[in-house]
Structure 1
Amino acid sequence: MFKVPNKAYTAQFKTAAVQRVKDGQSVRSVARELEISTQTVRNWIKAEGAGTLNGAGSKLVTPEQMELSRLRAENKRLQMELEIGKKCGGVLREGPPVKYAWIDGQCRDYPLAALCEVLSVSINGYRAWKRGGTVERKRLTEVQLLSLIKSIHAEVKGAYGSPRMTEEIRSRGFPASKTRVERLMSRHGIRARHRRRYRVTTDSGHKLPVAQNLLNREFTPHEPNRVFSSDITYIWTDEGWLYLAVVLDLFNREVVGWSMRADMTTELVGDALTMAWFRRKPAPGVLHHSDRGAQYASHAYQGQLARYGMRCSMSRKGNCWDNAPPESFFNSLKNERVHTTRYRTQREAAADVFEYIEVFYNRSRRHSSLGLVSPTKYLQNWLTTQQAQDTAA
């Protein structure tokens, strides 16, 4: 039986979270979007300042960074209001129902009072709407619905086509048909970002031992922590390539482990596997699938799998479909974020990829193979069902 492990975080995760605060977000906002306590974030910031966040070799915060943090703290309220104002766009010109719906999608990231103040609505009005008042079921006019579509399109940075857009609108309390949403999006040129073909870059030209394909394209395990799938991709920046390794739990397609480095080494994939193990603490017997790349076939990585009690499975030579789920994730990442963004530094790229994985993809993005809910929500729904069945038994 799957058990929810105590939360644990690797140094790379902590560093990325602290960087979001240093880049201008409030502690509360970062804590909400990552679903951790504000005190935990503050502890990480304090440890980073003392040079103890990552152990040996950590960088101390410079005097310039400390002064910048002080100035950002002094202007936090104004900055938050400006950020909310930029996000809400045309919603400001709409009536309360559209504003309430937009606020409902932002409450995880911003205080309710700040959201209501910027959009000039009352907290009591919003709460009445949440309780299921008549305004919740009001059919939006075409102008109102278009405004909401544009707002959501901006929020998700162009990631949703009409099916996901329709589900998102419904989740915010408004009736909407896919036909109507699709017609409005088409008429006004609102569409999901164009998909490009994924290029496979696996280097299997080595003499290291490879494992059999035990997974055999069985991509739908019946519960969490049964099958992990791993892969590597690369992201171009003005400073050169940034390499990203991920580990997915195929049950809910959640990215449970990731690592980013400037070089494609065994440490890259090893760190991603470490994060996955920290997060899930799976019992021995997990099937770990990857391609035949040298990083995964290396003695170091195979030893790590053995220590975690994981069984190794590898794709057949030259067959990218044997490891389709992580390649599908990379397609989404590239098309929805990377291909339309110029990264001037590797740090800038790493921060954006962290936001995509931890804030958007895992916790918010509606996944077509999961019934148009996010990976986190899918797992929560499954756990709730399991608990109900155990209680009934």
Structure 2
Amino acid sequence: MELSREIKDAYFDAKGRNGSPRLAKDLQASGVNVSRTTVARHMRNMGLRSKLSKKFRVTTDASHNYNVAPNLLNREFNQKEPMRACVSDITYICCKDGFLYLTCVIDLFDRKLIGWSISDNLTASGTVIPAIRMANRNRPFKEGMIFHSDRGIQYACKQTVNLLQYHRVEQSMSGKGNCWDNAVAESFFKSFKTELIYGTKLKTKEQMCLDVFEYIESWYNHKRRFSALGNLTIDEFWKQYNIKKQLIKNVA
């Protein structure tokens, strides 16, 4: 009975976003000795399910006459150091009073959303530019860092190209019509819509902006577990990284 309550509390604390593997990791991190299969069994008994995903849809428009950057990233999604490569993309959010557009910038080292913007228009100045500027404030760009995106006009336009060149960043773009070249950014949007939007009532733009902030800054960047990080949260992954870095420094 006690375990069922702890599983139920962890499930609702994550707002139904976690399935049994991540719930088990959360419980283990808080000192509860429980396996994934046990959590799954209790979830079935209580009728608890994680939110289901839906097919991702492309938002950016690649029909333009701007130059297209080569694919420098080449699907090297696992980076060993921070700020060696970032990926970015844009998605739409349907609201009661129209559409919003969310832009993300993700550091491939730890999958952290280091920059983002939410806008009611698809101009570069409303989407990509503020997201890039936030990313640079949170984690200053390194010279030669790869910034990867699709071929959308917001990324290919002079305003974005000039900003990235100013920071001495190498721009990279996916192959034509190849969503797998930007799989990490698309995976984020799939998780975002599954965990925050699908299965809920339409919200106003104002309420959605608040919910997006909470999802990114409270949940995704600090509490969500990632299979790419060994089912650690970003904070836990950074703690391990800094410990290893200090050990190497001490040995040297």
Q: Same fold (TM over 0.5)?
A: yes
Residue 67 (structure 1) aligns with = none
| Distance across 1 between alignment mates of 2:134 and 2:59 | 23
Q: Give, in angstroms, the shift of residue 344 of structure 1.
A: 3.3
Within the candidate set 151, 171, 179, 1:320 is matched to 179
Matches within 5 A, 1:242-253: 242-253=100-111
Say yes or no: does 1:306 pair with 2:172. no
Residue 13 (structure 2) aligns with = 155
Instruction: Give the SS at the match of 2:232.
Output: coil
| Matched length | 251
| Distance across 1 between alignment mates of 2:147 and 2:16 | 33
The 8 Å contact of residues 256 and 280 in structure 1, kept in 2 or not, is answered as yes
Residue 135 (structure 2) aligns with = 276
Matches within 5 A, 1:105-124: none
Within the candidate set 227, 239, 242, 2:97 is matched to 239
| Distance across 1 between alignment mates of 2:235 and 2:174 | 27
Instruction: Give the SS at the match of 2:17.
Output: coil
Say yes or no: does 1:370 pair with 2:229. yes
Within the candidate set 204, 207, 211, 1:352 is matched to 211
Residue 329 (structure 1) aligns with = 188
Q: Give, in angstroms, the shift of residue 229 of structure 1.
A: 0.2
Within the candidate set 113, 116, 121, 1:255 is matched to 113
Say yes or no: does 1:392 pair with 2:240. no
Residue 146 (structure 1) aligns with = 4
Q: Give, in angstroms, the shift of residue 283 of structure 1.
A: 2.1
| Distance across 2 between alignment mates of 1:347 and 1:380 | 35
| Distance across 2 between alignment mates of 1:182 and 1:271 | 41
| Distance across 2 between alignment mates of 1:376 and 1:347 | 29
Residue 383 (structure 1) aligns with = 242
Cα deviation 1:48-74 (Å, max 9, x = unaligned): xxxxxxxxxxxxxxxxxxxxxxxxxxx
1:378 aligned partner, one-letter code: F
Within the candidate set 46, 50, 57, 1:188 is matched to 46
| Distance across 2 between alignment mates of 1:387 and 1:347 | 44
Cα deviation 1:95-149 (Å, max 9, x = unaligned): xxxxxxxxxxxxxxxxxxxxxxxxxxxxxxxxxxxxxxxxxxxxxxxx1111111
Q: Which runs of 5+ in 1 are unaligned?
A: 1-142
The 8 Å contact of residues 227 and 250 in structure 1, kept in 2 or not, is answered as yes
Say yes or no: does 1:207 pair with 2:65. yes
| Distance across 2 between alignment mates of 1:146 and 1:238 | 37
Say yes or no: does 1:361 pair with 2:226. no
| Distance across 2 between alignment mates of 1:383 and 1:244 | 31
The farther-off stretch of 260-269 and 368-377 is: 368-377
| Distance across 2 between alignment mates of 1:328 and 1:337 | 14
2:164 aligned partner, one-letter code: L
Residue 70 (structure 1) aligns with = none
Q: Which runs of 5+ in 2 are unaligned?
A: none
| Distance across 1 between alignment mates of 2:250 and 2:219 | 33
The 8 Å contact of residues 60 and 154 in structure 2, kept in 1 or not, is answered as no
The 8 Å contact of residues 230 and 326 in structure 1, kept in 2 or not, is answered as yes
Please state which structure has a larger fraction of its residues in helix.
Answer: 1
Say yes or no: does 1:177 pair with 2:51. no
The 8 Å contact of residues 237 and 342 in structure 1, kept in 2 or not, is answered as no
Cα deviation 1:206-263 (Å, max 9, x = unaligned): 1110011111111001111100100000111111001110100001000000001110
CA RMSD of the aligned region, Å? 1.0
Instruction: Give the SS at the match of 1:216.
Output: coil
2:228 aligned partner, one-letter code: S
Q: Give, in angstroms, the shift of residue 343 of structure 1.
A: 4.2
The 8 Å contact of residues 252 and 376 in structure 1, kept in 2 or not, is answered as no
**Highest Rg: 1 or 2?**
1
Instruction: Give the SS at the match of 2:114.
Output: strand
Residue 264 (structure 1) aligns with = 122
Instruction: Give the SS at the match of 1:340.
Output: coil
State TM-score, norm by structure 1. 0.63
1:209 aligned partner, one-letter code: N
Q: Identity over aligned residues, as a percent?
A: 42
| Distance across 2 between alignment mates of 1:298 and 1:384 | 41
The 8 Å contact of residues 88 and 106 in structure 2, kept in 1 or not, is answered as yes
Q: Give, in angstroms, the shift of residue 282 of structure 1.
A: 2.6
Instruction: Give the SS at the match of 1:289.
Output: strand
| Distance across 1 between alignment mates of 2:169 and 2:16 | 38
1:190 aligned partner, one-letter code: L
The 8 Å contact of residues 295 and 301 in structure 1, kept in 2 or not, is answered as yes
Please state which structure has a larger fraction of its residues in strand.
Answer: 2
